[in-house]
Structure 1
Amino acid sequence: MSTDVYLVRHAIKEKDVGDVAITAAGLEQAHMTANHFKKVPISRIFSSPLNRAKQTAQIIGNVARLPIIEDIRLRERANWGDLPGQTFQEFVEMWNRCTKERDFSPPSGDSARRAGERLSSCLLEISVQYPKESTVIVTHGGLITDFLLNEFSQEELNNKHPNFIIEQSNLVPECSITKIRFGAEGLKLVDFASIAHLHC
Structure 2
Amino acid sequence: MPVNMAEDGNVAPGLSAPIGGKKIFFVRHGKTEWNNQLRYQGATDIPLNAEGRLQARRAALRFSLAKVDAVISSPLSRAYETAEEIASFHKGAAVEKTSLLTEVDFGEWEGRTVAEIRENYAEIFEAWRVNQLNVDAPGGEKADDLYERCGELSKLLLARPERSIVVVGHGAMLRALFPRLLALPRVSYFWRTRIDNCSITAFGADAGRFVLLFQNDTTHLKVAEGRIASLPLL
- Structure 1: distance between partners of 2:74 and 2:165: 14
The equivalent of 1:177 in structure 2 is 200
Deviation of 1:33 after TM superposition, in Å, equals: 0.6
8 A contact 2:176–2:189 mirrored in 1: no
2:65 is matched with which residue?
39
2: CA distance, partners of 1:95 / 1:57: 31
In 2, Cα distance between equivalents of 1:116 and 1:85? 20
Q: Which has the larger radius of gyration?
A: 2
Partners of 2:160 and 2:183 in 1: CA distance:
26
Work out the CA distance in 2 between the residues paired with 1:9 and 1:166: 14
> 1:116 deviation in Å?
4.6
Distance 1:85 1:20 in 2: 11
In structure 2, what is the equivalent of residue 70 of structure 1? 97
Deviation at 1:115, TM superposition (A): 2.6
Could you say which residue in structure 2 is the equivalent of 1:90? 117
Which residue of 2 is the match for residue 108 of structure 1?
140
Of 154, 169, 175, the match for 1:145: 175
Secondary structure, counterpart of 2:26 in structure 1: strand
1:49 alignment partner in structure 2: 75
* Matched residue SS, 2:150: helix
Distance, in Å, in 1 between the alignment partners of 2:148 and 2:25 is 17
Moved more, 98-107 or 140-149: 98-107
Pick the aligned partner of 1:118 from 149, 169, 175: 149
Structure number with greater CO (CA < 8 Å, separation at least 6) is 1
Q: Which runs of 5+ in 2 are unaligned?
A: 1-19, 224-234
Which letter maps to 1:57? A
Distance of 1:68 and 1:28 partners within structure 2? 19
**2:29: which partner in 1?**
10
Structure 1 unaligned blocks of 5 or more: 155-163
| 2:213 counterpart (187, 190, 194) | 190
- Structure 1 residue 51 displacement after superposition: 1.2
Render the CA deviation track for 1:42-83: whole Å, top value 9, x for unaligned.
10111111111011111111222321111000011225xx54
Q: Which runs of 4+ in 1 moved over 6 A?
A: none
Distance 1:152 1:14, change over 3 A: same
TM-score by length of 2: 0.68
Higher helix proportion: 1
RMSD: 2.9
Give 1:120 shift.
3.8
Q: Take 1:99 and 1:84, find their aligned partners in 2: how far apart are those partners?
A: 13
Count of aligned positions? 186
- Does residue 167 of the first structure (1) align with residue 191 of the second (2)? yes
Structure 1 residues 96 and 69 mapped into 2: Cα distance closer, same or farther (>3 Å)?
farther
